[in-house]
Structure 1
Amino acid sequence: MSFLSPIQSDENDLLGFLGGTVNIGQTSLIPEDMLKRLRDDQDRFKVIDIENFLYIEGGPSPGKRVQPLPEPGEDPLVDAALSGITFGTVTDNSGQQLIYAASHLEDLGWMFVRSVPYERATAPANDSFLNFLWISIAISLVIALLGFFASRSAVRPLDRMTETIEQMAQSPSSGQRLDGKGASETRKLAAAFNQLMAERDAISTMKENFVSNVSHELRTPLTSLNGALRLMASGAAGQLPEKAEEMAQLALRNGNRLHLLISDLLDFSKLTAGQMNVTLSALPLAPVIKAAISGNTALAAEHNLSLSTEGLGEQTVFADEHRLRQVLDNFISNAIKFSPPDQPITISVQPAAPGFTRITVSDRGDGVPEQFENELFERFSQAEVGTSKSIKGTGLGLAICRELAQLMKGRVGYFYDNGANFWIELPNYKTEGITIDESAGPSS
């Protein structure tokens, strides 16, 4: 390649010419530092003389630097550059995808083309994308974990409040209160709920005091009234006409029934206030059960029912005689109320959980509706049962039985097996010669 360039002075006067030739087959047209980068990166640099030759520098196997201009279709890169599209992608004859850029030098009529492998050109972008992806995933995980722990921290007080409320619903007399910890909204909710519970307890206390006071006020005149009726019915005031005697007996029965209802209300008030006292001592079961049967035989006979025992021996429990008799009387009277005529009622005794004895009162009635079993020993609970008898009461008897059993370190329960079976478990007075711990309770 030859060149000729004029030499001019500062005043643009022609001083001469500078000319020469360059053997482009032996000398590179590219600066040394750029040439080194081309070879290191396996880039390709081509100079296309549109009418004469093709100059190649760089690439994996450049061969001769100066080659004849290829025919159309022989070199996809040259074809793409000569098409007038100055930037794009092309696939060479070896199947490698290239990114190229072309620039036209009009003074010489040359086209400068540089290409790089597509994978290498996009590698930084791919690396950046992968880095961005992993960083995004890491940030998302951190945010998710922070959100999870934050939500757990916010919800945990509500979970505790929910558990406490459920426990309060199951045991309204427990006196539990919500723990006012956590966010301000949670504290406000707990405070409002606790205030509501305090108001409810105040109303409940007022109601219980009212019931207790009224019961006491009714009990005294009722005792005198029942005493007078008993004297009249016994003939102490003279023989009554038959009709008058029947009316006196009817009045006495209803007076006694009312007396029992008032006693239930008073016992319930004492239990609720924690004022019910029991005296626990060694108690042989046989005399207590026989006394309970004797006391209810007349009522059973009125309904054509019989009372019997099973498994009764020399068992001794740790209990209060009066309160155990109260529980047994309640179980037996319920069995009498709900048993069909001419059927037996059995009071059986058998071992229960280790160290405990179970007393069961069984009848042949229809039992308690299944959906009502969970509420059987709750306050003011009365189930509708399939019997023609008119059954009325306060609904406190079984609730009082449960409270009394707990005071005696025992428990009560119910199951159905060809009839209703109500039971109470009490600790044995001695287990293998060792006096039972008064603080022990029955196993579930």
Structure 2
Amino acid sequence: MSVRATYFTNLNPARWSLLRRIMVLLVLGLGLTVGISFWIISSSLNTELRREYFAHERQSLENTAHRIEQRFKQRAQFLQQLAPLITNGQTLLPADELERVLRVAYESNLFSDFILMDTEARGIFDYPFLPERRGKDFSHRPFINELMQNWQSVISPPLMGSVSGLPSVFMAEPVFNQAGQPIAILVGRNGLESEMLFQRIRNELQSYSGQLLIIDPTYDLYITATDEEKVLQPLSKEDRIYLSSDELQDTWQGFYQDKDRKNWLYVAHKLGFMDWIVIKKAPEVIVLASIQQALTYYMLMIASLLIPLAFIMVVLIYRWLAPLRSSIVQLNKAVEEESDISKFNIEREDEIGQLLLAFNAFQSIRDRQQQLKDELLSVVSHELRTPLTSIRGALNILQLDQVQQDPEHRKKLFNLASRNLNRLTFLVNDLLDVVSLSKGMLRLNLSDCSAQEAILEVLEDFRALLEEKSLQVEFTATEEMKVHVDQLRLQQVLSNLISNAIKFSNAGSRIQIALTQQGEFVRISVLDEGEGIPMAFQPHVFERFTQADLSDRRKQSGTGLGMAIAFELVEAMGGHLSFDSVPGQGACFYVDLPSVKVMPDDTNKALK
């Protein structure tokens, strides 16, 4: 395989080793942990910084707005107090006195200049003096018209002075005589180009990374701004975002994205006195810049902790998986050498230890299956060879001339061949039953039958063998009892039990068979006085191909299938097969079968 092919094969996760998978998951997990924690901390810090920014700027903006409101309220109050001082109660003061009063007012630096108009809005006096104002009609000014309609104080929006040509805010105050009749209009001009408060605010914000805006939403104008090019210019589309807010309360905040996809944070405050809006805004990236250093430090600190931690975890995982790797090497070596696999030495109780323990258990099962296979071959070969040898010998002898002339001898040879054919038939039937039981294909024909009759028929079949060994059989039954079973299979079970009792009983001993009612079951017990079952063998009585020891197959003959088949047949018929045995004192087998009083739902069921 080429280097390139090997490289891409190694990239295929399906070919990765368990250690490599765990290491990849570990790295991904650590990376994901760092990433998520970084995102959470970054989000938390960003949120906290935004909150602190908004809180700080709200306070700063409210202070700035308060200064502006106080400044203009002071001027409005000053103008209200000045208006009565330019009258003698009936008419306006003489020109020299007017000039003196207005000069004093001018020196307060609250207004850029003063204009005095008659009740028809024509200029009659001003200070400082500008000849263009004398006799000029100002009635076209909207704020003058508004005052002349209700004769109350009016503050104009930012306007360009028609005479001065400078951006200004005008405050107009009606002048009344003692009778309360208007006799003049006093106007004070606030020149925005020379507004000291705005200049001071701009100077204070020279180091500010954002912008300050004061806008008039009624006329869509910038009153002032840190960017002086915007002063008294129409609002840009970008800055109309503050006017579209549904939260036009005293103070509100938010963020927006400009045409360059740059995020801005802003705080806005409405001036109740002037209906202006004061805004402070700053780029979000500048507001959040202070956390970058903290996050960088955090990432370096986390990396310095996680790298050695990851190394330690890799070493630990490598050690934890060492038994598994050793087991895999052992398995591969056994496969390559086609040798037996020895059981693993397990020194741990975690999942890997449990895996190896399960493998040892499977190995034991495999060894047991191999042993059963070997025993099956041994049993079948022996059990087939013996009767076949006898049959062949009998047939060969029958071909001799002298045997054909001896009827008695010929009859014995035919009987010998017949008995061995029966042995072959029984062996084949047992093997077929084992196959059917293993595959769940054995069908039972369940019906009500007499337990006594079944027992007596089986005993009749064994009469000759009982007489041959001089065995006594005692059969007791308390009453006539019927069971719901497959009669032929019941007789097969009883034949196995009685055959074993005869086989392992000493000559002249006794076999006791009893039939009793045990609740919903009928119990058939078969008791012999033989050698009993060794304690070590008792757990394996109902296993296939098992006998007390291998020599029993030579001494007593048999396949070791009879008890296993009997057990599974009884279970299939809804009963239970058990035994009691004390070595040296015989054995008693119990067959519990369902009485006809408790009939199964399915009268023709298959063994599953």
Q: Which bin holds the TM-score, normalised by the shorter protein? A: 0.3 to 0.5
Structure of greater Rg? 2
Question: TM-score scaled to structure 1, two decimals?
Answer: 0.45
The TM-score with structure 2 as length reference comes to 0.34
**Comparing both structures, which one devotes a greater share of its residues to helix?**
2
